[in-house]
Structure 1
Amino acid sequence: MTISQSVFPLPGVQHGKRIIASVIETRAQKDNDTPWVSLPINEENLSLGFKDISFRSFNNAANHAAHWLRQNLPETSEPFQKFAYAGPKDLRYPILAVAAAKLQKVLILPSPLVTAEAQRRILEQQKCTVYLRPSTMTTQVDVILHDAPHVQTIDIPDLEEFLKDTEAEPVTYSKTWDEGKNDPWLVFHTSGTTGNPKPVTWTHRMMASIDMMAASPNIKDSMVHRAANHRLFTPIPSLHLTGMMLILATTTYVNMTAVLGPSTALTPSIIISVFQNTHIDGTLLPPALIDGLCLSDAGLAALRSLNFLMYAGAPLAAKSAALLTPYIPVVINGVGTTEAGGYFATHHSHRDPDAYLWLSFAQQKGAIFEPRTADGLHELVFVREDSATTSGEIDTDDEPVIFQTYPHLTRFETHDLWRPHPVHKDLWQIVGRTDDYVPLSHSDGLHASSLEPEITAHAAVKAALIGGHGLAKPVLVVQLVDGTTASEFEVESLRPYVDKVNARVHECVRLEMGRVIVATEEKPFAYTAKQSVARMQSLELYEAEIAALEG
């Protein structure tokens, strides 16, 4: 189902060139506005229902937080003072983000899923010497800062101290679009899938990319179009770019209401309870959670009730897609990076069973596909349409985010590999990365991530990795779904799936059943913050087993 007529512009809204903090302040003055978020009345008992939080309450909480920051951050004459924050998965993240904007400060968002060393490196690179955390996380943050005594830690109040009914003295964002659009605001970091996590600074203009997209007459049916004026549930924390874009930008700019679950780690059973106790139009989930929900009738019923399902961070297993696509009007891959943001690839009218795999970039500014392999794989490359913007001669507000991250570049190679649709030539399927290539000792090799979905189609396989870098033959390592042990798994049951892989590759790089390793419960695969498998780290866990295959 495609959108025949764009939902934008929203009634009474002039999209584009609006800074989030200013829009929130404006919406706070309205009565009967769309709620900002909806969250459980009682996290321990979701059957009690959900309560809506208005933009008026959100702005008031940000004002309370801004006053607290003024009183507690060290005095400085430096512009755009930086401070880091880590806490539980609650509303303090977006509240602090807006408070930082009001005060023209910069919020750094380190993820607890990366190592302490990586977090310290990010703080050092950003020259950040202040770290906020709740008292409940004192121990965790102290471990991170053990070798960084110059970083000052400050206890932050409970959420209730910000999100209270008492009216705060207004703290107003004071700049116009042109004055503030290029100011630094939020610092995220890459997941570390392909190396050490690196910080990426997002400006107000970059965070407004959703509003810029809404203002574009060329883009008709993106994920943002689907989310506008709807209630969307996602468990993605706000410390990640995707989570913050949803809870801050998509809610503020296009009237989405973010439905939140409990602040604890979510399981399929908790998600089912969320769906049963509040209205949800769509969701964005990691495929691992979708797979878990597909294992029960209640989970399937919850997902099948949706108007749209977005997945992100990893491929959606074919076995899960087969259970969902006949029932959900739109199942779509949410593709993007911390450096480039969402790609805003669009949905399409192609309705074959594999429609969920394909995206259109026909309306994506600056996106081209360049041939990379003999078997037809292409790399997505962004090119700057006017190179004069690198010198500052032209300031194009709607240029791709990647060229705001790297303003000196005129082209950016994403390293993402895509396959063109055999019939619909404007559609593309992401199949892996250029750095997923496994070179073998005889100079041939294979692109592992384009083949691994053939193995994960096995009902008992949660994840699969093809390795063997520098060896004569590739190696297959599989991780089993929860509840299936390595000792009871029949490796021979993989043969039909291995045969499918081998049918797609040259005989000199084919998989052999004798070179299959089953991951043990003691050494599960490593995962990134996006819940995708950390390829090299996971393969390194099985270095000894791989070496043993070589005799």
Structure 2
Amino acid sequence: MRAGFVPFPLSTRNSVPALEHLIKKTSSVYICGSTLTPGRSATALQEATSSVLSLLPSIQLLEAPRYTDLYPRLGSGLVKPYDAVEDAAQTPVLPTIQSFPEYASITTDSAIMFIHSSGSTTFPKPIPMSHRFWVGVCRNAVEGWLGPTVSTRLGMMGLPSFHGMGLYFMLGAASAWGTISLMLRPSEVPIAPSSDRVLEACKRSHPDCLITVPSFCVAWSQDDDALKYLASVKAVRYGGAPLPQEAGDRLVKAGVNLLTGYGLTELGIVFKFRLGRENSEDWNYGELCPSLKVELVPEGNDLYRLVVMDCEAHPVAVFTDPEVRAFDTNDLLEPHPSGNGLWKIIGRADDQIMMSNGEKTNPGPMEHIISGNPNVQACMMFGRARTQAGIAVEPAEHIQVTNEAGRADFLSLIWQDIEKANAMAPQHSRIFKELVLVVDPERKPLARTAKGTVFRTRALQQYAAEIDALYTAAEQPSTGTIRWADPPEVWDEPAVHSFVARVVNGIMRPQLRNGVPGPGRIEPSRDLFEQGCDSLQATYIRAAVEGAISCRPSATAKERPDGASSSTSVPLNLVYRYPSIDRLAGYVMQRFAGR
């Protein structure tokens, strides 16, 4: 940025067509990344980079610099304490920015960087951030923080740097307020963050405040050791998605100072960083930043749609109404019953689904593709506060689904269009067969509006029990009908390893079990997430392992302080903790096979 480049962080979860679109839309000329290294297996990210380069031959690849190249002093051995004199002697004196020719025509309205909207629409949209907007983001990043901010340690392990929340706190708060951004150490192969890794990193780095995503909060709410540690931190602030009420209540009951964060890519931070509050039960309410100029539009039922007006104190990046320089968030807010100026986020007026891992799914484009199938009468995506999206599909009148075989036949009729929708969607928005709810149009059709469209809010209430049951069933694949999940006949090392390999390949490479050509088998020693494993597949792998263990001959399991609560249960984050076939098999042998 100092040299005049305009960076554009891209989500690693975007599809290749979405990446191509974003690069073309912004006329980008360089891509910073890496491709296949001869003699080594390519990661999913390297494969995506190679695909983008083949589609856009004019783009130049810049190899990502190594951490040790940028910071040699921190590369190896014991790092010496910081010495200001020595540091000054080794730091080159740079000319002022104004002297750079690249800045000759720069104004406060020029783009300093781009960031893109959620990749759950047909294509994500690039959003230019002006110098004026970025200065406002930096200034307002920790608005409401009481006390000094210089050297305040903010734990941001696991926050993606291509999302607004990560950027605004990692860079914005640090540059304007002197906070210290704590992140996971860079590695040769990126490590998938998990609730355990983030917690361990916190214990080593001692943050004053932890900023995280709701899915990690859910995991910590079920772990007594995590609750004890988090209660010692000044605050835990979650954002990017809703947190289930029961999980938040458990955290607060354990003494955790839980704060809700709310912001948008186009606006920056919306809820102030409020450390203290009168009632800990108000953890899911926030206070609007005083710097904001807002209009709260009544939407009925004591709900208000938030519209933010551009102003010098809190600039807006883009406008939905350029004439009045305003941005309509389409977010619905509910005031606190006491009228104390606190607000709770209820949902999206435009039906965007906020998921528990901080991702967002805009159901419209995917629903449009699937509902275009002649065998579909209507459909509705769901997944609020979940890690993966699903869809309810109402068959057309000429389709009769009366049993499981009929369901399978119906899915085969519509699956080509679901795959078409999935091809344009990011990972968290893709639909799996296990999360397709087939609606009975005669017994309980999807609720409709007066115009005949699906009444989403009412339909979600109508099918709440069925959706809950679908997610529960998805976490427990049946070993009776899925041969690759059959437990090993004997529980020795070769049989257990073969079983784990069969489960992982059955879940991550379904085309192999059906004899369809496709990507090769999963490499047993490589990280599963490098090879494309996603959150739902990790859930399936865990469930299959746990299901097989419950069927094994009676044996006494070793007691382990790893979150497993009985002789047959396994940790909720099993695959994140043991992310390869070899390590999973080793865990099963050590834990359950009497070794």
Q: Which TM-score bucket, shorter chain as reference?
A: 0.5 to 0.7
Is the CA contact 2:174–2:181 (under 8 Å) kept in the aligned structure 1?
yes
- The aligned residue for residue 376 of structure 1 is 302
Which of 105, 111, 115 is equivalent to 2:5? 105
The Cα shift of 1:133 comes to 1.8
Counterpart CA distance in 2 for 1:102 and 1:507 is 51
Which of 118, 127, 135 is equivalent to 2:18? 118
The Cα shift of 1:299 comes to 1.6
Counterpart CA distance in 1 for 2:215 and 2:194 is 10
- The aligned residue for residue 316 of structure 2 is 401
2:95 corresponds to 1:172: yes
CA 1:262–1:470: 2 relative to 1, 3 Å: farther
Q: For 2:59, give the aligned amino acid.
A: V
CA 1:142–1:413: 2 relative to 1, 3 Å: same
Is the CA contact 2:117–2:265 (under 8 Å) kept in the aligned structure 1?
yes
- The aligned residue for residue 539 of structure 1 is none
- The aligned residue for residue 157 of structure 1 is 65
Map 1:213-362 → 2, pairs under 5 A: 213=140, 221=144, 229-234=151-156, 235-263=158-186, 264-328=191-255, 330-345=257-272, 347=274, 351-361=278-288
Instruction: State the Cα deviation string for residues 42-67 of structure 1 (Å, max 9, x = none).
Output: xxxxxxxxxxxxxxxxxxxxxxxxxx
Which of 343, 347, 351 is equivalent to 1:436? 351
Is the CA contact 2:214–2:238 (under 8 Å) kept in the aligned structure 1?
yes
When the two chains are superposed, the root-mean-square deviation of aligned CA atoms in Å is 4.2
Which of 127, 138, 145 is equivalent to 1:200? 127
CA 1:513–1:308: 2 relative to 1, 3 Å: closer
Where do 5+ consecutive residues of structure 1 fail to align? 1-100, 385-395, 473-485, 488-504, 524-532, 535-551
CA 1:299–1:363: 2 relative to 1, 3 Å: same
Give the match's secondary structure for 2:230.
Answer: helix
Which of 498, 503, 520 is equivalent to 2:474? 520
Counterpart CA distance in 1 for 2:459 and 2:8 is 49
Matched length: 367
The Cα shift of 1:233 comes to 0.7
Q: For 2:154, give the aligned amino acid.
A: L
CA 1:362–1:142: 2 relative to 1, 3 Å: closer
Q: Which has the larger radius of gyration?
A: 2
CA 1:406–1:346: 2 relative to 1, 3 Å: farther
Give the match's secondary structure for 1:102.
Answer: coil
Is the CA contact 1:268–1:299 (under 8 Å) kept in the aligned structure 2?
no
Report the TM-score, using the length of structure 2 for normalisation: 0.53
2:375 corresponds to 1:421: no
CA 1:206–1:469: 2 relative to 1, 3 Å: farther
Counterpart CA distance in 1 for 2:302 and 2:71 is 53
Instruction: State the Cα deviation string for residues 499-544 of structure 1 (Å, max 9, x = none).
Output: xxxxxx8799633756753362569xxxxxxxxx99xxxxxxxxxx
The Cα shift of 1:126 comes to 0.8
Instruction: State the Cα deviation string for residues 266-287 of structure 1 (Å, max 9, x = none).
Output: 2222223223223221111111
CA 1:509–1:325: 2 relative to 1, 3 Å: closer
The Cα shift of 1:408 comes to 5.6
Where do 5+ consecutive residues of structure 2 fail to align? 38-44, 74-88, 353-362, 372-377, 398-433, 436-456, 476-506, 509-534, 537-595
Report the TM-score, using the length of structure 1 for normalisation: 0.57
Q: For 1:161, give the aligned amino acid.
A: D
Counterpart CA distance in 2 for 1:180 and 1:195 is 33
The Cα shift of 1:323 comes to 2.0
Give the match's secondary structure for 1:417.
Answer: strand
CA 1:195–1:413: 2 relative to 1, 3 Å: farther
Q: For 1:435, give the aligned amino acid.
A: D
Is the CA contact 2:257–2:280 (under 8 Å) kept in the aligned structure 1?
no
The Cα shift of 1:407 comes to 6.2
CA 1:116–1:448: 2 relative to 1, 3 Å: closer
